[in-house]
Chain A
């Protein structure tokens, strides 16, 4: 046994996190087992039928570009990367008659703490992303695309490259796809450890071979994107949703979820639950049901709080969270964001100061340094939370934290500044007594970590 084979014994199989039977009406994760990721398996599950339908190779008349975009609009599919922007609308922003090159980019730079869904899509069902991208490229008249994959999941990048080779060999990618008049070249690229490249314009800079420092918007990528050309960027899960929508229709997709929140969504549930993992369930599923699917709160403890949409989203106390359904509108109404669908669960043994200390360190570490409020402000937030946690905090620090957070939010080129500020403000808003206790007693209100 060589070293690679030895190390492989420690790799995940996906059994605990993906191939369980606790999804509800899954579309993207349906019927996966970790071995059936290849082209022939995907086709046996109905894969590439949507592409054949679009190209008129299934005996039908085919779909026009407008018909594809109209179907995606009707589906009310919203961007799964975090912003929840309507996908069909985004696609319609692309100039149709642009004379030069246009680009399609898949954002697989999945680094928002708590989020691990795209990795399992690409690892266990890579062709669903490829098919979704081909259809998107067709709809917008794009001939070249890139999938930018988080550098830390290098094995998944290698898997995706293998799937691309299969698709090219089968005539599903390249010149004159399946004998039609449509051509599309798709390549994989990878990051190498920079959270900021999940921001779409930071990602574009990185794809151009530079530091991943975000650009001012406007201009938006649809007019000035990769190499200055019109570009559409969608998240991995967004592309993965497209084949089902084309096969079954936009209305059917809406009916899977709830109005304005179509389809299924994959939630990555981490933290204090018995069975952490990814769960694909209909939009609008009650949070209480999702918690149940994840085996409930660990060790029979009480739920204390939930960070519902990745580490950047404002924390919600248990009572508010238990009233929510898992969709963009319900979580927004409660004062947070569905974000990437990464649900971080905290039980009643957790110290919120310590939790915020780790998050604030992360944002300081990952600030790209371009904007002063973020570069300096994230350092201030991290150092002040750190001194409160370690028993050196002052009463005035609580006001200082709110003030620094307020001076960052809305004052930076990209959303990382907001992402650093929002968790601080929400923690103080909902859990102020814990912070005050820490300052006054130089220790924790809740029992020590186990």
Chain B
């Protein structure tokens, strides 16, 4: 299950809101779950529901409404490439096509070694940095030319080999 450290982070999020509004922390708690476990399982939803005094279905409504929650396991590195219009005008589609070819997967697919999940996504809010890509919901990578995409994928692969 979830670590003590994550439970401590839950408490910090809950403390931001009025005592009778613990539900407000649900998005942050689900994010913390995903950061530790990689995805939000029904068991995790039940655990968060118990922690916040909500029903599990109310938690599931949140998990299923917001695009960034993984409702099933994903690769070790989730890559979200923006292809919305401002990025489309500056090679966002090209970046997506390059990653499909390099990784040998389609949109919403994971490489057989479980390393990478590739997803097209909507506006990341970094339009002037296009092509942009978000790694594991956290690290925004900017100006991703084919060369930089290769460096990133190769670098992450070799880091795996070393560790």
Contacts and interface: CB of A to CB of B under 8 A. Distances in A.
A and B interact physically:
yes
Contacts of B126: 12, 116, 119, 153
Interface stretch (A35-43, A48-56, A190-198): A190-198
Given A151-B137, A209-B25, A113 B85 contact: yes
A192 B84 contact: no
Interface in A94-144: 101, 110-116, 118-119
Interface residues of B, number: 54
Contacts of B16: 146, 187, 189
Contacts of B61: 210-211
A270 B124 CA distance: 13
A377 interface: no
A17 B152 CA distance: 22
Given A3-B156, A192-B66, A10 B129 contact: no
A7 B139 CA distance: 7
A114 B18 CA distance: 35
A268 interface: yes
Of the candidates B69, B122, B125, the one having the most CB atoms from chain A within 10 angstroms of its own CB is B125
Contact of A116 (B21, B30, B125, B139): B125
Contact of A191 (B27, B124, B155): B27
Interface stretch (A246-254, A358-366, A384-392, A404-412): A358-366
Contact of B156 (A6, A8, A193, A276): A6
Contact of B62 (A190, A209, A368): A209
B130 A150 contact: no
Nearest to A186: B16
A206 B149 CA distance: 34
Interface in B60-84: 61-62, 65-69, 83-84
B1 interface: no
Contact of B68 (A116, A193, A270): A193
Given A151-B137, A189-B28, A111 B65 contact: no
Contacts of B129: 12, 16-17, 116
A390 to B, nearest CB: 15
A206 B23 contact: no
B67 A192 contact: yes
Contacts of B52: 209
A359 B89 CA distance: 12
Given A227-B18, A366-B122, A268 B127 contact: yes
Which secondary structure dominates chain B's binding surface? Answer: mixed
A4 B135 CA distance: 10
B54 interface: yes
Interface stretch (A173-181, A342-350, A436-444): A342-350
B161 interface: no
A119 B134 CA distance: 14
Interface in A73-108: 101
A7 B141 CA distance: 8
A396 interface: no
A209 B54 CA distance: 10
A58 interface: no
B88 interface: yes
Given A11-B140, A11-B142, A210 B125 contact: no
B42 interface: no
Interface in A136-162: 146, 150-155
B83 A358 contact: yes
Of the candidates B24, B68, B89, B137, the one having the most CB atoms from chain A within 10 angstroms of its own CB is B89
Nearest to B15: A187
11 contacts: A10-B139, A11-B142, A12-B143, A118-B125, A152-B68, A190-B28, A191-B66, A194-B65, A194-B66, A311-B123, A358-B85
Top 7 closest A-B pairs, CB basis?
A193-B67, A209-B23, A193-B68, A10-B141, A12-B142, A270-B86, A187-B16
